Structure 1
């Protein structure tokens, strides 16, 4: 959103000198056709105007030398009453140092009264307006980042690359690990992850990779329990500090499930081996005996006892069926473990 001098501009001028009031009014009217100007000759009147105004002021022009208040109180109270309004200081030569100090307190700019012109005033107001707008955007971005950071369901930290201490921690880390935020901020990453700095972290930060192919890390919880986690990292600049954004995903239960599945697969392989070797061995012998009986005695049996011959054939057929079933089970067990 850029500043447009043709829009209606509501300004508060806090100035006790009538001559300066007149000049500033004239300069403003030259540059801003749709001007709405309120003038306060002292601190008391400015407080009343700021408190009762139904529409916020776009800019406040503030003289620091008012008869009824000291500079510190003036700046503090004006900022409190209009926290989102840019303040431009109007000052004399003797108050330049004070005006510069006021900039550190959040004021947008200062103008020397002896050097004020309509163009200079317009430039300063435009700059102050744009700077305030940018500050609001930055503030909004920071809030959104904080919300995303805190609402992340996975434990997440910001870590100082040089010292390894925690700079920030989200609610998920506090809830899952058991440490309070104050405790985390007095700890190092090594306090929960002894192997963290054994990683080639610089490589991952430079190439902006996650730690996907690294082994799982053991993380120590406050209650003494150890969990296995997968780590993800990204480099960030945190308040001027080179830092790492670290996120952990607890895979303890997943690893437990995997181990159980591996154990079950091993059991299936053992069963398949037993069926293949222990069960099929006597079955094969039985089939061989039946085959041998058929070869040597079937003719005699057929003549002597047809029912016995039929039972012998059924026994051999059943043995073959059992053998086929065992082979099928062994085959399926072997393929499921590949």
Structure 2
């Protein structure tokens, strides 16, 4: 039978030499590259955990001199970190097993039922469980970093009660509430009364379509009473074994105000363009007509004073029009727009 080539260092905390030898035989039968340490007491086990470069698995007898049961497990866990612990005991007490397993140990084995295959499977399961938990912890940390360090306000809320479950620092800074205040509020509390209907419509739409991503632009109320316009992006995520909603809020108040200014100035620019194409055309047409008369061979010199007067009149009209265009253009504050 081929052995598992997985390199392992195993600490067996067992004060019964016969049980230790049996466990050692089982391990050597299943693993090809393995180091096994034995400690008979709690104090010796702690020294080994502290001094060993690496321990992959701890096999722990549930009864040691002067320490046993749940108290023993708690004490070992204070020093073992994330090393998987497999409990070994001669007692078939279901209540005890449930209690010990609830403390976070990897497995609970009855000594009389252990054989090489059972022990091997328990060790492999414990290592895979550790790897899975470490992966979850890394994912959780990545999420926490993205959530807490985001420059955009973010929060989690309960889909049923709409209560805030958690908010990041950016939300606290933007909205002015403390974390404790947020957790005593619902998402309705940051909405003006006139926005409640649109909020209900949006929530109903998100539920019916199970929608993700952009939810729309809404009005929110800060603690100071100021109203802001925000773009809302949201999606469902699992949080503490429950499906909740994650929200990102992007303040677009200045952006919308800027767009309004642009639109208003565009209207003004259209008015100016209309002036250029219509109002200017009248005096310009008179000037061109007078020039055409002067160029005619049949031009009567006695009409010259009148024509010059008309030229001057048309010139003054055009000057007034140009001045008016320049004045209106300055009011648009185009330089301010370009700098913004």
The partner residue of 2:124 within 114, 123, 126 is 126
Question: Per the alignment, do residues 253 and 210 of structure 1 end up closer, same or farther by CA in structure 2, a change over 3 Å counting?
Answer: farther
The CA deviation at 1:201 is 2.7
User: For residues 34-56 of structure 1, what are the alpha-carbon distances to aligned partners after superposition, in whole Å with 9 as ceiling and x for unaligned?
Assistant: 22111111111111111221x22
User: For residues 108-162 of structure 1, what are the alpha-carbon distances to aligned partners after superposition, in whole Å with 9 as ceiling and x for unaligned?
Assistant: 0011011111111111111111111111111111111111222322111111110
Question: Per the alignment, do residues 50 and 19 of structure 1 end up closer, same or farther by CA in structure 2, a change over 3 Å counting?
Answer: same
TM-score, length of structure 1 as denominator length:
0.80
The partner residue of 2:79 within 81, 89, 92 is 81
Question: Per the alignment, do residues 66 and 317 of structure 1 end up closer, same or farther by CA in structure 2, a change over 3 Å counting?
Answer: same
The partner residue of 2:206 within 200, 204, 207 is 204
SS in 2 for 1:232: strand
Contact 2:92–2:110, Cα closer than 8 Å, also in 1: no
Question: Per the alignment, do residues 196 and 321 of structure 1 end up closer, same or farther by CA in structure 2, a change over 3 Å counting?
Answer: closer
TM-score, length of structure 2 as denominator length:
0.80
Distance 1:213 1:172 in 2: 20
SS in 2 for 1:19: helix
SS in 2 for 1:93: coil
Tell me the residue number matched to 1:231: 232
The partner residue of 1:191 within 184, 189, 192 is 189
The alignment's C-alpha RMSD in Å is: 3.7
The partner residue of 1:150 within 148, 151, 162 is 148
| Residue correspondence of structure 1 range 260-275 to structure 2 within 5 A | 260-271=261-272
1:102 paired with 2:100, answer yes
Contact 2:154–2:246, Cα closer than 8 Å, also in 1: yes
Distance 2:145 2:17 in 1: 49
User: For residues 60-89 of structure 1, what are the alpha-carbon distances to aligned partners after superposition, in whole Å with 9 as ceiling and x for unaligned?
Assistant: 000111112243332122112111111000
